[in-house]
């Protein structure tokens, strides 16, 4: 008979996989938008505006459950997964292709989450996690050195994505500490960012770009960003964090870079050179090792 702990872990793993699959498509879909008719700030408006509108009724019903007495933690959650995170990542995607963005986005997010979970939540930093971190850093070095050998045209993009990944890692660890219901976390992020950002965006020249963009592109970004990424994936990942721990949830990200690279190649024609393949493999392997896969294999032998 399956124990409650086993069911809880399985549910967390399934939620993490759902989030990772959606995020794998998010990178190329976002790159499609920011390299076309839209800017990162336009897509941010679509993402948080849509998510905020969809989740506003739920948030209003559960607003009293929010820990309003902890404004600092809520600020970190709202910024770490909000407009600042998204726009910086989007700016990086204008320079780096899907595969490269997947290397640094997934790799740095996992790396920072493990380190922050160790500092803030006192989670164990085992030898396996240290080895996984080293493997991830090796993947970064390979991609960066290859780009530098060819003019260094994308290094700035890599740096922006790493900064965004740090923001996401902070969100991951703080949301674990707050232990809010997953959908309520997603609702807070969507509603808070929409309320603060949309008035500023509407007063700028941003809406003119939306009006000039193809309707199909706007609908794609609004649906994928606001509904799938901003609502479904956000809720699934937060749920996974509550069941698996911050570092445990982040350890499912090895699927993200590989799938994002493949989808980017299929959707956008982004080239996957040898350095990117090695970087993707190193990051995926690093996350797997840090997740204790080797220990699990030995235990089953």
Give 271-287 as a DSSP string: ---HHHHHHHHHHHHHH
DSSP code at position 122: -
The pLDDT tens digits for 98-112 are 999 999 998 898 889
CA distance 239 to 183: 8
Mean pLDDT computed over 41-45: 94
CA distance 140 to 1: 44
| Structural tokens at position 126 | 């085992």
Sign (positive or negative) of CA dihedral 157, 164, 259, 137? positive
**What's residue 247's pLDDT?**
62
| Structural tokens at position 23 | 């995020």
What does residue 252 show for φ and ψ, rounded to 5 degrees?
A: -90, -5
Say if CB 24 and CB 105 are below 8 A apart: no
Q: What percent of the chain has pLDDT over 70?
A: 92
Say if CB 98 and CB 260 are below 8 A apart: yes
pTM: 0.85
Please, what's the b/e burial string for 131-143 (b: 16 or more CB within 10 A of its CB; e: otherwise)?
Answer: ebbebbbebbebb
CA distance 123 to 139: 24
Rg of the chain's alpha carbons, rounded to an integer?
A: 19
- Check residues 64 and 266 and name the one with the higher pLDDT: 64
CA distance 197 to 147: 35
The pLDDT tens digits for 112-121 are 988 998 888 7
The pLDDT confidence band at residue 236, using thresholds 50, 70 and 90, is: confident
Say yes or no to pLDDT of 297 above 60: no
CA distance 187 to 171: 14
**What's residue 253's pLDDT?**
61
CA distance 83 to 61: 24
The pLDDT tens digits for 46-79 are 999 999 999 999 999 999 999 999 999 999 999 9
Mean pLDDT computed over 19-25: 87
**What's residue 68's pLDDT?**
96
DSSP code at position 151: T
Mean pLDDT computed over 262-269: 88
Delimit the domains of the chain by residue range. 4-300
**What's residue 187's pLDDT?**
93
Mean pLDDT computed over 234-248: 78
- Check residues 9 and 233 and name the one with the higher pLDDT: 233
**What's residue 292's pLDDT?**
61
In this structure, of 4-18, 135-149, 183-197, the range with the lowest mean pLDDT score is: 4-18
Number of residues in the chain: 301
Distance of CA 75 to the CA centre of its chain: 18
């Amino acid at each position: 008979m399956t124990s409650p702990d086993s069911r809880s872990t399985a549910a967390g793993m399934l939620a993490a996989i759902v989030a990772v699959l959606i995020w794998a498509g998010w990178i190329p879909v976002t790159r499609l938008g920011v390299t076309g008719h839209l800017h990162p700030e336009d897509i941010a408006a679509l993402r948080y505006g849509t998510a905020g509108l969809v989740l506003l009724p739920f948030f209003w019903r559960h607003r009293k459950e929010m820990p309003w007495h902890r404004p600092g933690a809520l600020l970190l959650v709202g910024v770490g997964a909000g407009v600042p995170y998204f726009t910086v990542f989007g700016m990086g995607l204008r320079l780096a292709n899907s595969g490269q963005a997947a290397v640094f986005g997934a790799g740095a997010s996992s790396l920072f989450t493990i380190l922050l979970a160790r500092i803030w939540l006192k989670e164990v930093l085992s030898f396996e996690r240290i080895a996984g971190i080293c493997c991830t850093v090796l993947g970064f070095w390979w991609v960066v050195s290859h780009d530098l050998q060819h003019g260094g045209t994308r290094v700035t993009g890599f740096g922006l994505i790493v900064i965004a990944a740090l923001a996401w890692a902070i969100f991951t660890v703080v949301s674990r500490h707050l232990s809010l219901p997953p959908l309520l976390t997603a609702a807070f992020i969507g509603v808070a960012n929409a309320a603060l950002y949309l008035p500023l965006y509407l007063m700028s020249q941003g809406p003119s770009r939306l009006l000039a963009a193809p309707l199909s592109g706007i609908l794609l970004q609004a649906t994928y960003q606001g509904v799938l990424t901003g609502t479904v994936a956000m809720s699934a990942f937060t749920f996974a964090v509550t069941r698996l721990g911050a570092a445990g949830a982040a350890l499912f990200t090895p699927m993200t870079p590989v799938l994002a690279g493949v989808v980017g190649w299929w959707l956008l024609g982004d080239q996957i050179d040898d350095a990117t393949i090695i970087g993707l493999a190193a990051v995926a392997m690093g996350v797997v090792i840090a997740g204790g896969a080797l220990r699990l294999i030995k235990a089953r032998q």
